[in-house]
Amino acid sequence: MTTTVDKSNERVQKMFGEIAPRYDLLNHLLSMNVDRYWRWRTVKLAASQGSAPILDVCTGTGDLAFAYYKRTKGEVPIVGSDFCPAMLDVGEAKKKKFGCNGKITFVEADAQQLPFDDDHFQLVTVAFGLRNVADTDQGIREMTRVCQPGGRVAILEFSMPRWQPFKTIYGFYFRNVLPRIGQWLARNREQAYTYLPESVGQFPSGEELAERMRDAGLTEVRFYALTLGIATLYIGTKA
């Protein structure tokens, strides 16, 4: 019997708060810097169109928000929301370091209850965060609600490869090697890097997640496998 992963707000908030200081380092190290490429592909395929603001949900330390800042050359207002204050603190420090204080705003908010008006953002994104939201469908509905009609919702998330023998090799690394390295480096009590493969394994992917996006009111939903299926980018348009 498969045990349901505990994605309660309290656990997720505590877990990411504990690993916040080393979060960026571990992301780049454990992905061998491929996570930078995934974000580059996201800002290219789900490009900014016009001057309306962009929202990055579950922004963490703001890597995708910063990627959009660079892509738009600081000409489009960007908001990053997350319900983990420790993560946002790291994002604020990076904002000062990169000198982009005026164009990126970080807001503490739960993805299931976004504090923004309907139809406000041209683009609403989330990178490796939707699977941590307790109610996946509610998270997608909220992202859709605050998106402008004709605007787009983009979801970048981990997935499992299907091509053999890579599927078997990567699966072993992802379930056995990555958690041990990540936990050893992070040294957090909430077992964040054991949680990672567990949460990915139980998260909908491919057509299943695309259908949930359609149910939330998105049309023209397409998804793109990245790096042999290690990650998948989903893009839908709000009707």
The pLDDT tens digits for 153-171 are 999 999 999 889 999 998 8
Q: What is the pLDDT of residue 1?
A: 44
The percent of residues in the chain predicted with pLDDT above 90, rounded, is 69
Across 26-35, 45-54, 162-171, which has the greatest mean pLDDT? 45-54
- Domain boundaries of the chain, sorted by first residue: 9-159+203-238
DSSP letter string over 108-144? Answer: E--TTS--S-TT-EEEEEEES-GGGSSSHHHHHHHHH
Of the pLDDT bands very low, low, confident and very high (cuts 50, 70, 90), residue 231 is very high
Q: Which residues pair with 147 in a beta bridge?
A: 121
- Identify residue 139 by its one-letter amino acid code: G
Q: What is the pLDDT of residue 189?
A: 56
- What integer is the mean pLDDT of 18-30? 86
* Domain at 9-159+203-238, CATH from 3.30.70.270, 3.40.50.2300, 3.40.309.10, 3.40.50.150: 3.40.50.150
Q: Is the separation of the CB atoms in 62 and 56 below 8 Å? A: yes
pTM for the full model?
A: 0.94
